[in-house]
Every structure is written in structure tokens, then in C-alpha cells.
Amino acid sequence: MEYVIFCFLAYLLGSIPSAIIVGKLGYNIDIRNHGSGNMGATNTFRVLGIKAGILVMVADILKGTIATLLPLLFDADVYRLLVGIFAVLGHTYPLFAKFKGGKAVATSGGIILGINPILFIIMVSSFFITLYLSKYVSLSSMITGIITIIVTIIMKDVGLIIVTSLLTIFVFYRHRENITRIKNKTEPKITWM
């Protein structure tokens, strides 16, 4: 029963549409009607700017982190990585936004932050190094997932290996249109780095 409660809470937490809230409250804009139409941090950066983008990114990360920390607060005997996965599902298929959400990157990172902060730092470093070299946010997100899997294999943490592998596969799936655009050289590059 504990699993049902915490997974449901994690899903609801993940379903909070950060980009929509920031867009409507701060800019009177529905982010889904602008840019790529995606309600993640990347589209928020492009459409609303750095401040809004950072706010959405932090909020999306925290959704995953809080979901993994909730069981600790209640001393619940549940596998926290599994609970975190439901926050990612909520973020990508949000109850509060017609089941059309973000691409799972920031909230996935938030899960790792709640479980293993050192691994999270490695992920963030990998992301920004790859972003500096490629200028593609989507490609950097996918490569970061692969690097994270490799690091968890080195760490010999079976649970993290399985979960980071599943999350990376999911991130690739959510970026399938981006992959096509990268192949066709039509994927937007960042200009600030």
C-alpha cells in the first residue's frame, strides 16, 4: 500500500506543469503555443528567457528530488528510485496538462540528485561539457544519459544501472523528433555558449 501512495504522490508532483505556471503567471503566455510547443525548460529558455528557463529547470529537477525524498520523511520502506520514476511519468504525461508534458530530462536528473548527489554533479558536468562542444541541448541530454549509465556500471550499483538505463531509453524515445532534426541538420543550436 505504501508503494501505491508514494508512487501516486510522485506522479501528482511530477504532473505540476512548471513551464505553464511560470509562463502564465509571469508572462501571460501559454508556453505550449510558442516555440516547440514543449512545456520543458529548454523551450522556456528559448521563448521566455534565462530567468524563466532557470526557474522551470529548477522546479522540474525538484519534482524528481522531492519525490525520492518523500519516503524518507515518513520512514517508508519503499524503493525510492521506483517512486522517482513516477515523478518522471507525471512530468512527461501530466494529469494537469492533458497528458502532454516535457521530455523527462530535468526530472530524471532530480531523481538522481535525491539518491546520489555526486552522480548528479557528474551528470550536470557531462551535460554542460557536451553542450559546449555540440551546442545541441537534445544531444547533450542523450549523451549525458549514456555517460550516467557508464558511471553507474563503474559504481556497480545494480539499481542505479537499471533505473538510469530505463530513464535514458525513455529520454531517447522522447527526443526521437530531435534525433531526426539533428540528422537533417535542422535542430536549433544554442547561441549563448
SS (H, E, C) 71-89: HHHCCCCCCHHHHHHHHHH
Angle at 169 between CA 80 and CA 177, to 5 degrees: 130
pTM of the model as a whole: 0.94
Residue 95: DSSP 8-state:
G
The answer to the question of residue 16 being in a domain is yes
pLDDT tens, position by position, 123-143: 999 999 999 999 999 999 999
Instruction: Give one DSSP letter per residue of 108-163, joined into a string.
Output: HHHHHHHH-HHHHHHHHHHHHHHHHHH--HHHHHHHHHHHHHHHHHHHT-HHHHHH
User: What percent of the chain shows pLDDT beyond 90?
Assistant: 90
Instruction: Look up cell 535542422; give the residue.
Output: 186
The answer to the question of residue 89 being in a domain is yes
The answer to the question of residue 91 being in a domain is yes
The answer to the question of residue 151 being in a domain is yes
What is the count of structural domains for the chain? 1
The answer to the question of residue 132 being in a domain is yes
Supply 192's cell numbers: 549563448
The answer to the question of residue 156 being in a domain is yes
Predicted local confidence at residue 125, as pLDDT: 97
Pick from 133, 93, 126: which is nearest to 109 by CA? 126
The answer to the question of residue 68 being in a domain is yes
The answer to the question of residue 138 being in a domain is yes
CB contact set of 93 (below 8 Å; sequence gap of 6+): 99, 100, 101
pLDDT tens, position by position, 92-113: 999 999 999 999 999 999 999 9
Mean pLDDT of 10-21: 96
Range of the domain at 78: 2-183
State how far the Cα of 42 lies from the Cα of 54, in Å rounded to an integer: 9
Instruction: Give one DSSP letter per residue of 34-50, joined into a string.
Output: STT---SHHHHHHHH-H
Give the other-Cβ count within 10 Å of 103's Cβ: 26
